[in-house]
Amino acid sequence: MINIEKNKSLKGYNTFGFNQRAEYYAEVSTDDQLSEIVAYAKAKSWPVFILGGGSNIVLTQDIAGLVIRMVGTQVNRAPNTGEAGELITVAAGKNWHELVLETLQMSLPGLENLSLIPGTVGAAPVQNIGAYGVEIKDRVTRVHALHIPSGEWLDFSREDCAFAYRHSFFKDKPNQYAITEVEFNLGTQCATNPSYTSLAEHLSTRGLSNPTAVEISQSVIAIRESRLPDPNVLGNAGSFFHNPVVPADLAQSLKLRYPGLVTFDAGPERVKLSAAWMIDQLGYKGLSRGGVGVYHQQALVLTHNGGGNGCALLALAEEIMAEVAATFGVQLSIEPKIV
Ligand X SMILES: Cc1cc2nc3c(=O)[nH]c(=O)nc-3n(C[C@H](O)[C@H](O)[C@H](O)COP(=O)(O)OP(=O)(O)OC[C@H]3O[C@@H](n4cnc5c(N)ncnc54)[C@H](O)[C@@H]3O)c2cc1C
Q: List contacts with ligand X (CB under 6 A).
A: 15, 50-57, 70, 92, 117-120, 122-124, 126-127, 129-131, 170, 174, 177-179, 228, 231, 236-238, 337
Nearer to ligand X, 143 or 213 (CB): 143
Report the nearest approach of ligand X to the CB of residue 16 (Å).
8
Nearer to ligand X, 131 or 299 (CB): 131
**Alpha carbons 169 and 167: distance in angstroms, whole number:** 7
Active-site annotation holds for 157: no
Whether the CB-CB separation of 304 and 235 falls below 8 Å is answered with yes
**Alpha carbons 38 and 47: distance in angstroms, whole number:** 9
Active-site annotation holds for 77: no
Nearer to ligand X, 87 or 178 (CB): 178
**Alpha carbons 54 and 89: distance in angstroms, whole number:** 22
Report the nearest approach of ligand X to the CB of residue 21 (Å).
16
Report the nearest approach of ligand X to the CB of residue 56 (Å).
3
Report the nearest approach of ligand X to the CB of residue 189 (Å).
23
Report the nearest approach of ligand X to the CB of residue 80 (Å).
28
DSSP assignment of 218-283 equals HHHHHHHHHHS--TTTSEEEEE-BPPPEEEHHHHHHHHHH-TT--EEE-STTEEEE-HHHHHHHTT
From 142, 158, 166, 183, the catalytic residue: 166
Question: Which residues in 262-271 are b (16+ Cβ under 10 Å) and which e?
Answer: ebeebeeeeb
Active-site annotation holds for 209: no
Nearer to ligand X, 49 or 284 (CB): 49
Whether the CB-CB separation of 271 and 248 falls below 8 Å is answered with yes
Nearer to ligand X, 120 or 309 (CB): 120
DSSP assignment of 138-177 equals GTEEEEEEEETTTTEEEEEETTTTT-BTTB-GGGGSTTTE
**Alpha carbons 119 and 54: distance in angstroms, whole number:** 7
Residues noted as catalytic: 166, 239, 335
